[in-house]
Amino acid sequence: MRMRDLEKASGVSRETIRFYIREGLVPEPARTHRNSATYTPEHLARILTIRRLKDERFLPLSVIRSLFAGEQPDWLEPQMLPEIDHLLRARLDADGERQNALAFCLQLGGDPDHLADTVTAGVIDIAPDGTISPRDARILRLLIDGMKIGFTRERGYAGQAYGRLADVMHTLAELEVKDFFARVAPHVGELEAADMAERGIGILNQLMAELFTREVLALLGERRRIANDNSGVGQDAERLT
């Protein structure tokens, strides 16, 4: 099949397919001519597998590459703390009930476009029945609170800004989970691991808030210093003229 056929069958754009080929996730196609390539059912199967692992299991490409290479990352070993996700979910997601996303958004003073932005950015996940989890409800409330004090769509606080924050959190979570399984999991039982993870998440949340505040204040202080220095240079130039 040609590239256009592969695009249609997989639902993946040719730019993404070419990226997968460059990264070694998908084999090089057979080249019939310099600017012509032929793809096989194996190429389609590999692309569909990547798409499923990304969309359903939320695995990053680095992990998918390891799986294709036959290397099982330690943190994915099924025998290592097999029930920790259920234990943590029971502790951290036990409060509240699911509720209709649109109704909740309107109740808070938000609007459908605001809700759509959060979904598009991957910040809020709406189930097929139109509901969101208690945690997503709390996230949506915070975003709408921000909108009310001036962080509005008109000022650029929409999909792209939310998506950037979600990407940062995903990267941090991936690093912390991998470190936890590498450094802690081999040495403790499942209940102790769940206790450490639960308390560690609370500590990390507070730590991130303090670090973020410190960095914002430091940047504002640096901005003031640079602005004052530039102002002084301008005044000196005026006196020389």
- Look at residues 67, 226, 134 and name the one whose alpha carbon lies nearest to residue 125: 134
Q: What is the pLDDT of residue 72?
A: 65
Would you place residue 134 in the very low, low, confident or very high pLDDT band (cuts 50, 70, 90)? very high
Q: What is the dihedral of CA 47, 48, 52, 53, to 10 degrees?
A: -30
Over the stretch 66-119, which tens digit does the pLDDT of each residue have?
A: 778 776 666 777 678 888 998 998 999 877 889 999 999 999 999 898 888 888
Over the stretch 27-75, which tens digit does the pLDDT of each residue have?
A: 999 887 777 889 998 899 899 989 888 887 777 888 888 778 776 666 7
Q: What is the pLDDT of residue 232?
A: 63
Domains of the chain: 3-71 (1.10.1660.10), 75-233 (no CATH)
- State the average pLDDT over residues 19-24: 90
Q: Evaluate the CA torsion angle 133, 137, 138, 142 in order and state its sign.
A: positive
Do 188 and 196 form a contact (C-beta atoms < 8 A)? Answer: yes
The whole-angstrom distance between residue 73's C-alpha and the CA centroid of its chain comes to 20
Whole-model pTM? 0.65
